[in-house]
Structure 1
Amino acid sequence: MADHNHTRRVAYQILTHFDQSYRWFSRITGGAKERFEKGLWQETLTASKQRITIYEQSLSEAVAAVYRQLSIHRSDNRFWASLKQAYAALIEGHPQFELAETFFNSVIGRLFKHQKIDNRFMFVLSDRCFLSGQDRNNVLNAFDTATTVGEMYESVFRIYRFNIPFEDYQRDLNHLDMALRRRLNQDQLASVHTAELLKPVFYRGKAAYLIGRICMPDETLPFVIALQTNLQNQLFVDALLTDRKDLSIIFGFARSYFMADTQYPGEVVAFLQELLPNKKYFELYIALGHYKHGKTVFYRNYLQHLEYSDDEFEAAPGVRGLVMMVFHLPSYGVVFKVIRDEFAESKKITREHVKDCYRLVKMSDRVGRMADTHEYVNFRIPLNRISEDLFKELQRSCASSLETDGDELIIRHLYIERKLTPLNLYLQQETDPQKIRHALNELGLCIKQIAMANIFPGDMLHKNFGITRNGRVIFYDYDEICLMKERNFRALPVSDDPFAMDTLSVAPNDVFPQQFEHFIVGNRKMKAILKELHGELMTPEYWQQVQTLTASGDIPNFTPYNPAMRFPRPLSEKIILGKSDRLGTETQ
């Protein structure tokens, strides 16, 4: 009985720390409404960073609290199995039980330095399915569609109220009415039987989203109302989105996490997955800021994929990186990145510097242009699934990160990232001039928008960018990034003396943008197109102007959906709110 009580006490202690962590997470998330209403954009960035750090802080406190109590049981497998059982009993019926499972895994992982990854002692596989639907009513509002479209919208805004006035309420209702009538024909409109919206409002950047669906007998459509505020802190409806592609882009892997306050994250994710069947559950958890649980769900998905596939891991397509060894499983949609033991002479950086760069991206607004990465330790891969060439290359370049355990390779530290087509390969293979021009325009916009988000990309060779199926260019090589203020953008010195460059004073943080044209893309015709579209990237004045803007604390607005979907507003407002497109912000 004493052992049982002790086991239950330790399990309760771990759960208490999880509950405290989630309350902390919810307090920051719940503050998003006020920050949106008051236009507190710097506070919004700070809150996003704070929320990311909560998990590690809570985990450290939990491990410290239970460590001494557990030390006498470290080699007692029966204790660890009974601890898991006691914890599973405690979280039965818990509204965030799946997140609580992940927190328990993290505690056990930290105590054993991730050497005890075993379903007897951890929730490697969840004890139960969370997609029950039993809590669906706790996350959804349903609206009567038997009335007129306008009356339905009015009932929506009676429920979703903001403590600021509308810029022009009647205009926005008319826009929403016309947009839905353009999307649905008369028969479809007549057949709509329910409009459902998730109760939490989704906040990110300078926007808020009401997310739901229109239900008809034979189909459902996404139903997303995008909201923003003007400089006078007045609310306006920016767009109505009813296309899954637009919704998918909003939940893209290169965008920052939403603030959406709910006590039932599993139900919210299940509903979102019904709207976005091509998104995996782990992607949606991550989009809500539950990135640790997203990693857990990804690992379960990974194990399942291994079971139902037979291809081998191999080096990823593209030019070999000087800092990272990148490999993939051809049938799976991610790449695995391991830091090399030694870097090329041209890379004057350390292993810890590389990790710091990846942390910086994690904490930054990725503005739809930087791929999210997920860090794993002691990641296991079956040896019989690794190609011989890849295994040899890993041993040559990453030996310090490897160990074998029976029939598995353990990689002590790696990053996982969404798989993209490397831009250099895409441009080599593409023959359509319009698609090439579009990709080069996207490359320039990508560089500009990252800079406006206060990140200097550093190594801008086009091999360090990827392109999505929808033709969006994403940056994914972070080992040379830094904040904009950390570089000195200079004009290239001019001298009649051919040997003058040998004696000119060049500081380590000096950057000469006029040299960019020589290495972003090598092909002469493509170089000319990039200069035509984004020639200002090759001038120090452009970068100095962006530095001034980022130093001022000005937060640009990056609208993720198609600008053609935006409702018209007075020209004067557009001029006031707009930024120069040459700087790379989204069109206002």
Structure 2
Amino acid sequence: MNTSIARQIARIILEGFSDYRTRFTDITLGARDRFLKADWSAAQNSASDRINLYYVAVTDVMETLTSQVEESWFRNSDCWQDVHNAYLDLISYRTDPELAETFYNSIYRKVFKGEAVNPRHCFIQSEFDGFKVQSARGIYRSYFQDKYQKQGLVSLVGQILDDFQFELPWEYRRRDIRNIIHALQKTQPSWVKRSNVRVDVLKWVFFRNKAAYLVGRLVAGDDLQPFVLAVLNNEQGELYVDALLCENDCVSVLFSFTRSYFLVDARIPSECIEFLQTLIPEKNRAELYNSIGFFKHGKSVFYRDFLKHLQNSSDQFVIAPGVKGMVMSVFTLPSLDMVFKVIKDRFAPPKDISKAMVKDRYYLVKTHDRVGRMADTQEYSNLILPRFRFSDELLEELQQVAPSTVIVYDDKVLIRHLYTERRMMPMNIYVEQLVEDGNEQALDDVLNEYGRAIKQLAAANIFPGDMLLKNFGVTRHGRVVFYDYDEIIYLTECNFRDIPEALYPEQELSAEPWYSVSPGDIFPEEFPVFLFPDLAIRKRFNRLHGDLFTASYWRSIQQQITNGQVMDVLPYSPSLQLKKKYSDRPFHHKEEEPVV
């Protein structure tokens, strides 16, 4: 192989990656201006545009390779050992080499689409695993309580707010400081009493939707506790602190796989991930890379972790529990909290969609605001797994429903296309267990969550389509999440109608509707019987969210969206909103807040 050609190919790939990172950073940096201007529509569009950048960048590199390198060279697998080595030399000086590896892999898979991967030719395992890149001035500011001993927490919290120059004034800085301290005193009393506490706050602001987050931690010796401030724009040119998140579960939900990706200027991604893992150690690196927008690298990290898991486990892939879907065949590995979804070759009536339409809807979810109610997915092609890890029942089903996608060999199974998704307990099973146990409070809680999930999806301009309980899952935090996307459409494309009154009794008894029904027509009055065959559960849900059974509710949400209103769907409980919780608290000190 001509080594100069190999270096040329490596440089083309790296230039494409560098251009992608520049454009990625430009969109990310623009989040600050969009937040300050309260330009929420632009914020939503930019988040989607940033995801699309990756696919555009890969396409651009392929076009450059085609125009600048003879196809007989770059399509020749024998040359890619040299390309790999040349590329490794080029990226070893970068602050984001792990991302550069993933981009290289994307190009390699594009060149050799459908072919077996040679581990010597690409980065199946990272060459930078365990390698640490550190910024010269550090990525966080530290605030030491003893430095502010005379002034107490008031000055410490005030300094944190002042260090983030947002260009807009605080709506009421004194009140915000007071509320933060009150919240600390109530939720973290042991930390407030310590004398050796340090607060570390990342220098970068995490932007998403209508909020900006100051992400940090409380540190005392070996003890760590999250410390996250949610800052909102009152849309009148002022900012205020809406919430303090110190509980691990609250911060975990903030970085959930059901949320859109943050826009944060993490110039050294690995250093950012390392800091975030100290706050939420139960989150794996793949999830955290996803959360800050590097979803393709999150996919790579998951795949590497998945291979290690297979080596260190012995259980078999089995059909996932729950009602079998009409579009997807879903299986899982009991020792891993993920499911694997394969699109079936044919869909039984009444499903009237194609494989391409299913993929489009999964991509819609990828790029849309998931508002904490839709699970993120990763898409894999030509995944090879050992045959002995599949149960006979699962192999039989896959070969029956998806023979064009699942190819079974003597010792391996090739899956041409699948999605991975976090495993959750199907809501229908969860509800059945609660009814069997007689746990009425938990039943009300999950039904309320289900209704809130539907309403929050509607606020994000999403109509789930098939709202049966089997298409929703319950997370370990008790949140209800939608995960069946083949029928989702934009809410504004629906026509919500009231059922006309029957002209005479015989019409109501007819098996066919006595009124005209056009494509896109939806009659919410039909939801109760369709969703809740059990009358007792239907009555419970009606008490909680009966407005979902009226066409007027849905039309009102449509009107708000049409008017350009971007509705708030906060990633934390309303009980944590400081202005609501402490607005009537008196000041404890003449000039500032209570000195602690």
TM-score interval, smaller chain: over 0.9
Paired with 2:170 and 2:120, the residues of 1 have a C-alpha distance of 55
Name the structure 2 match of 1:172. 176
The Cα of 1:568 is off from its aligned counterpart by: 2.3
Instruction: Kindly indicate whether the alpha-carbon contact (under 8 Å) linking 1:138 and 1:264 is maintained by their aligned counterparts in 2.
Output: no
Alignment CA distance shift 1:376-1:87 (3 Å): same
The one-character-per-residue Cα deviations of 1:222-264 (angstroms, maximum 9, x if unpaired) are 1111110113131001122111111001001111110101211
Name the structure 2 match of 1:563. 574
Q: Secondary structure at the match of 1:286?
A: helix
Paired with 1:67 and 1:46, the residues of 2 have a C-alpha distance of 31
Paired with 2:565 and 2:311, the residues of 1 have a C-alpha distance of 49
The Cα of 1:413 is off from its aligned counterpart by: 1.2
The one-character-per-residue Cα deviations of 1:469-527 (angstroms, maximum 9, x if unpaired) are 22111001111110112111111122214349456321011111100001212222111
Name the structure 2 match of 1:195. 199
Q: Secondary structure at the match of 1:252?
A: coil
Q: Secondary structure at the match of 2:120?
A: coil
The Cα of 1:218 is off from its aligned counterpart by: 3.5
Task: Using the TM superposition, name which of 415-424 and 128-137 deviates more.
Answer: 128-137
Instruction: Kindly indicate whether the alpha-carbon contact (under 8 Å) linking 2:185 and 2:192 is maintained by their aligned counterparts in 1.
Output: no
**Which of 526, 531, 535 is matched with 1:524 structurally?**
535
The Cα of 1:134 is off from its aligned counterpart by: 3.4
The Cα of 1:181 is off from its aligned counterpart by: 3.2
**Which of 416, 420, 425 is matched with 1:412 structurally?**
416
1:536 maps onto 2:547 in alignment: yes
The one-character-per-residue Cα deviations of 1:146-174 (angstroms, maximum 9, x if unpaired) are 21312222222232110111100111112
Name the structure 1 match of 2:5. 6
Paired with 2:46 and 2:127, the residues of 1 have a C-alpha distance of 33
**Which of 312, 320, 324 is matched with 1:320 structurally?**
324
Task: Using the TM superposition, name which of 141-150 and 466-475 deviates more.
Answer: 141-150
Paired with 1:109 and 1:274, the residues of 2 have a C-alpha distance of 34
Name the structure 1 match of 2:593. none
The Cα of 1:116 is off from its aligned counterpart by: 3.8
Instruction: Kindly indicate whether the alpha-carbon contact (under 8 Å) linking 1:192 and 1:214 is maintained by their aligned counterparts in 2.
Output: no
> Which structure is higher in RCO with an 8 Å CA cutoff and minimum separation 6?
2
* TM-score with structure 1 setting the length: 0.94
**Which of 472, 478, 489 is matched with 2:485 structurally?**
478
Q: Secondary structure at the match of 2:572?
A: coil
The code of the aligned residue for 1:177 comes to I
Task: Using the TM superposition, name which of 422-431 and 156-165 deviates more.
Answer: 156-165
Instruction: Kindly indicate whether the alpha-carbon contact (under 8 Å) linking 2:75 and 2:111 is maintained by their aligned counterparts in 1.
Output: no
Name the structure 2 match of 1:91. 91
The code of the aligned residue for 1:51 comes to R
The code of the aligned residue for 2:140 comes to L
Name the structure 2 match of 1:384. 388
Alignment CA distance shift 1:302-1:78 (3 Å): same
Instruction: Kindly indicate whether the alpha-carbon contact (under 8 Å) linking 1:28 and 1:47 is maintained by their aligned counterparts in 2.
Output: yes
The code of the aligned residue for 1:383 comes to R
Q: Secondary structure at the match of 2:340?
A: strand
1:553 maps onto 2:564 in alignment: yes
The one-character-per-residue Cα deviations of 1:415-457 (angstroms, maximum 9, x if unpaired) are 1111000000011112211111111111111111101110111
The code of the aligned residue for 2:240 comes to F
1:454 maps onto 2:461 in alignment: yes
Instruction: Kindly indicate whether the alpha-carbon contact (under 8 Å) linking 2:472 and 2:482 is maintained by their aligned counterparts in 1.
Output: yes
Structure 2's unaligned 5+ residue stretches are 585-596
The Cα of 1:133 is off from its aligned counterpart by: 6.0
Name the structure 1 match of 2:119. 119
Paired with 1:86 and 1:22, the residues of 2 have a C-alpha distance of 20
1:274 maps onto 2:278 in alignment: yes
The Cα of 1:193 is off from its aligned counterpart by: 4.2
Identity across the alignment (%): 39
The one-character-per-residue Cα deviations of 1:304-362 (angstroms, maximum 9, x if unpaired) are 11010000001000000011111111111111111111111111222211112111111
The Cα of 1:190 is off from its aligned counterpart by: 3.4
**Which of 264, 269, 277 is matched with 1:265 structurally?**
269
The one-character-per-residue Cα deviations of 1:368-390 (angstroms, maximum 9, x if unpaired) are 01111111111222111011110
The code of the aligned residue for 1:272 comes to L
Q: How does 1:117-156 map to 2 (within 5 A)?
A: 117-130=117-130, 132=132, 134-135=134-135, 137-146=137-146, 147=148, 148-156=152-160
Instruction: Kindly indicate whether the alpha-carbon contact (under 8 Å) linking 1:141 and 1:199 is maintained by their aligned counterparts in 2.
Output: yes
Paired with 1:187 and 1:37, the residues of 2 have a C-alpha distance of 33
The code of the aligned residue for 1:128 comes to F
**Which of 368, 372, 375 is matched with 1:371 structurally?**
375
The Cα of 1:279 is off from its aligned counterpart by: 0.3
Alignment CA distance shift 1:395-1:186 (3 Å): closer
Q: How does 1:289-438 map to 2 (within 5 A)?
A: 289-404=293-408, 407-430=411-434, 431=437, 432-438=439-445
The one-character-per-residue Cα deviations of 1:82-121 (angstroms, maximum 9, x if unpaired) are 1111111111131111110000000000000042423201
Name the structure 2 match of 1:582. none
Name the structure 2 match of 1:580. none
Q: Secondary structure at the match of 2:556?
A: helix
Paired with 2:488 and 2:26, the residues of 1 have a C-alpha distance of 32
The code of the aligned residue for 1:568 comes to K
The Cα of 1:73 is off from its aligned counterpart by: 3.1
Instruction: Kindly indicate whether the alpha-carbon contact (under 8 Å) linking 1:341 and 1:399 is maintained by their aligned counterparts in 2.
Output: yes
Instruction: Kindly indicate whether the alpha-carbon contact (under 8 Å) linking 1:11 and 1:86 is maintained by their aligned counterparts in 2.
Output: yes
Task: Using the TM superposition, name which of 118-127 and 170-179 deviates more.
Answer: 170-179
Paired with 1:75 and 1:358, the residues of 2 have a C-alpha distance of 31
The code of the aligned residue for 2:322 comes to G
Paired with 1:571 and 1:280, the residues of 2 have a C-alpha distance of 35
* TM-score with structure 2 setting the length: 0.92
Instruction: Kindly indicate whether the alpha-carbon contact (under 8 Å) linking 2:387 and 2:409 is maintained by their aligned counterparts in 1.
Output: no
RMSD value over aligned CA atoms? 2.0
Name the structure 1 match of 2:594. none
Name the structure 1 match of 2:591. none
The Cα of 1:128 is off from its aligned counterpart by: 2.0
Alignment CA distance shift 1:517-1:77 (3 Å): same
Name the structure 2 match of 1:55. 54
The code of the aligned residue for 1:360 comes to L
The code of the aligned residue for 1:428 comes to E
Name the structure 1 match of 2:19. 20
Task: Using the TM superposition, name which of 395-404 and 46-55 deviates more.
Answer: 395-404
Instruction: Kindly indicate whether the alpha-carbon contact (under 8 Å) linking 2:461 and 2:491 is maintained by their aligned counterparts in 1.
Output: yes
Alignment CA distance shift 1:501-1:124 (3 Å): same
1:513 maps onto 2:520 in alignment: no
